[in-house]
Chains A and B, each alone.
Chain A
Amino acid sequence: MIIHIDGKACVCEKGEYLLHVAAQNGIFIPRFCHHPGLPGQACCRVCLVEVETEAGGERQVVSSCVYPVEREMQVYTNSDKIKKQRRMVLSLLSARAPDSGRTAALLKSAGGSLPERFTRLAGEKCILCGLCAKACESVGTAAISVAGRGTDKKISTPFALPPDACIGCASCAAVCPTEVIAYVEDGGTRTIWGRSFQLKYCETCGDMLGTEEEVAHAANKAGGEPARLCPACRKKTIAGALGKPFARG
């Protein structure tokens, strides 16, 4: 079917999410909490757009990251209303996370500025998109989670202690849109969430494989021995053993 986004005709499948359709057609909709591998957060509310399902009918404000296309429609990603609401959402996020550079930058590019009157949470960088907890859950460790509710909600480890379940894989840090989750790699160890992990390297090429725990966790999940080689070297080894020189780096 065809929908119109900001006047541009876009071909899409029924049930596809608006944000995705827009991206496929080169239309960028700002967002924070959407990650293609971890869909459905729908909590930052930066990706708002207006949809009009009947010509001249009432427009509805929806979050494009989870809005499924069910029928033909007009979509407005930059109407006056959307611009205004997006500025307010970004102002609220900037007040919450005044130390997040990305939030401030997005607010600026949306033409807004943080009202003086807003209370700032000093030193805060996290916008509570929850992607880190979702990533951790999908890895299968659930060492960190979103705890509490309302204005006291926060990302936390159990009892706010270095989490036992953590395997140091840093998936949380990888998905964080505001680059809040800090980890340090230094002399063969990675330190994250208050714990230090031994790093493991490929026995052939020396590329980093991850932390000991992470490699063991992956082996455990797949059922086998913990890896000692990186995927590329492993392929080469297998290929070598079979005597068929088709392996490519």
Chain B
Amino acid sequence: MTRTIFVCCGTGCIANGSLAVADALRAALDETATAYGQGKAAATAGQAERREAAATAGIQVEALVKQTGCNGFCENGPIVKIMPDDISYYKVKPQDAAEIIDSLDKAPVERLLYKDRDGRSLRSQKENPFYAQQMKIVLRNIGEIDPAEIDDYLARGGYAALKKALAMQPAEIIAEVEKSGLRGRGGAGFPTGSKWRIAASYDDFPKYVVMNGDEGDPGAFMDRSILEGDPHCVLEGLAICALAVGAEQGFFYIRDEYGLALHQVQKAIADAGKAGILGNAIMGSEKKLHLEVVRGGGAFVCGESTALMASIEGRPGEPRAKYIRSVQRGLWDKPTVLNNVETLANIPFLILEGGAKFAEKGTANSKGTKVFALVGKVKRTGLIEVPMGVSLRHLIFDIGGGLLSDRPFKAVQTGGPSGGCIPAELLDLPVDFDTLTEKGAMMGSGGMIVMDDRDCMVEMARYYVNFLCGESCGKCTPCREGLRQLRNILTDITEGRGEPEDLQLMEEICDTMRDASLCALGKSAPNPVMTTLRYFREEYESHIRDKTCPAGHCPKLTAFRIDTDKCTGCGRCAGACPGGAISGAIKSPYRIDGSKCLACGVCRDLCRFEAAIAEKAGYEA
């Protein structure tokens, strides 16, 4: 049987050494071939030749190693998947390679399989609770193809949608996208079909299409994974968009730090050009399309549409007033469609299967699926795709497996710096554009950070405000100066200098930022502050009135002590304490020297007996 061994080579798995795993697997295959009498020559030939040589020698173990994009379950990487047996291995090391190759016609390597809660080994991704409850449209090819091989994409039906679109009228394409109900995945949720229709309506050429791959939201990696794992899909989406609106030039704006994504997209453009899919005659038709990669300017604000366009034009990445929209006057004052990576990745499926089929998934006003980066204090972190409208509880507890160490859930932060915190009472909310916005948060691009009772909500707000202080453009007063004052007030609160009037003052600042800021960064920057004030006001009040941080997180307000009744004297904390504050003898209770304690909380995180306890600072044992 011909097998394919897929080695996940997304950024996460590469960081865990997956490239070495792929090499080791290839070497192990070579060795098998050599063992069957192919001699040294086989080892120096290309993999395809080796495979053929092995096949003619009648080798049973015929396999091909392929490097794929991100499988989403990064913390368990490197991930190796064997098809068509459908066996997935996790945390694979190069030294496991020989055993994996050796097992191909035998039973799977038990110790590399994923174990569920009851310790049962799961062979297939389909049995794994992390994957089983997902619905993949955008991510359907990722992990199944080598993103650097256009033939892999073609073999899975790639570019069939573009071919279909070439036979359609632009208005028909747009009608299909409108029928699907697809809304932009970049954050604002603007209906994609309407955007295309407006851009198509102007008789002002040249027009431009642009992909937004700036993804500046800390903790988010959806777009990066799509670009790394299935670049042709996004390229096909952008090409269909260009056909629909009448553009002959397109740009991929990609964050400069995304080296692998930049590489894959550049290769995809070159390969599609060579294959006659792009260029002066799209698939042999009379339509033209030229695509170019632009490296992002760096700051979070560069993801904002007008700042992004300024950056492509070679000007500083600063927004402009948007009273005339980019679909009318965008790049070089010409009609321009800007769409997010994930939005575009939906297009090939939507055109092939039809808008009506797409619209069957999701909720009334939010159709299709959404990709989320689930991170934070949750058991299974990673990249997941689910239909719109599933509950936060389902995402966090069923797919994510609940909180680490089964600690109490406190909040989930959605939408990054423009989003907000959603408390436990709202866990059953369906996740869609409108519901999250109504609750003061935002879908954003799809980042989801799960927090437990040891995370401080005031600190969370301060973190994002501080982030934006450095990542906004700083052009307009409400945003720049509002953020500055918010940061100072929030820092004061977390350090015990808060004043009772601060909460109202912050609300007033936020109100002005929302109304008066120039761009959507400043208008949405108050969300982390406003949602925590709305759902966790008492936590602010404790910081201000009682000078305590209930989560035991803010170092200036917290001290740690060891409960001598609970301490078993294991010594784990003492070794890890960065301040060297913990002393004691093995098997008898340890103690913390308050004068050395940095209140970092490492001891509390490490202690398996709940013996390290956070107290209000100033506590004396």
Residue positions of A touching B, CB distance < 8 A: 40, 42-46, 48, 61-63, 66-68, 81, 84-85, 88-89, 92-93, 95-96, 115, 117-119, 127-128, 130, 146, 148-153
Contact = CB atoms under 8 A, between A and B. Distances in A.
Given A61-B516, A92-B481, A92-B482, A151 B474 contact: yes
B19 interface: no
Interface stretch (B246-254, B378-386, B498-506): B498-506
A130 B475 contact: yes
A85 B516 CA distance: 7
Contacts of B320: 40, 42
B598 interface: no
A150 B489 CA distance: 17
A152 B478 contact: no
Contact of A117 (B316, B475, B505): B505
A151 B491 CA distance: 15
A117 B499 contact: yes
B518 A43 contact: yes
B558 interface: no
27 contacts: A43-B476, A43-B477, A43-B518, A45-B477, A45-B478, A48-B515, A67-B321, A68-B323, A81-B515, A89-B478, A92-B477, A92-B509, A95-B481, A95-B485, A117-B499, A117-B502, A117-B505, A118-B485, A149-B299, A149-B472, A149-B474, A150-B470, A150-B472, A150-B473, A150-B483, A151-B469, A151-B487
A67 B323 contact: yes
B214 to A, nearest CB: 15
A45 B505 contact: no
A127 B472 CA distance: 17
Contacts of A63: 321, 518
A151 B471 CA distance: 9
A66 B321 CA distance: 7
A85 B468 contact: no
Contacts of B301: 149
Contacts of B509: 88, 92
A84 B515 CA distance: 11
Contacts of A45: 476-478, 516-518
A93 B474 contact: no
A119 B323 contact: no
Contacts of B477: 43-46, 89, 92-93, 96, 127-128
A117 B486 CA distance: 11
B107 interface: no
Contacts of B478: 45, 88-89, 92
Per CB-CB distance, the 9 closest pairs between chain A and chain B, nearest first, are A153-B474, A92-B481, A88-B512, A151-B469, A66-B321, A61-B515, A43-B476, A150-B474, A119-B488
B580 to A, nearest CB: 35
B116 interface: no
A85 B512 contact: yes
B484 interface: yes
Contacts of B470: 149-152
Nearest to A90: B477
Contacts of A89: 477-478, 512, 516
Nearest to B299: A149
B621 interface: no
Contact of A152 (B323, B468, B474, B487): B474
Contacts of B474: 128, 148-153
B321 A42 contact: yes
B163 interface: no
A96 B481 contact: yes
Given A63-B518, A150-B471, A150-B483, 15 more contacts: A40-B321, A45-B516, A45-B517, A45-B518, A68-B323, A89-B512, A92-B477, A92-B481, A117-B499, A149-B471, A149-B473, A151-B470, A151-B484, A152-B474, A153-B473
B324 interface: yes
Contacts of A42: 320-321, 476, 518
B324 A68 contact: yes
A119 B502 CA distance: 13
A83 to B, nearest CB: 12
A165 B464 CA distance: 39
B480 A66 contact: no
Interface in B441-498: 468-478, 480-485, 487-489
A65 B307 CA distance: 19
Contacts of A128: 474-475, 477, 480
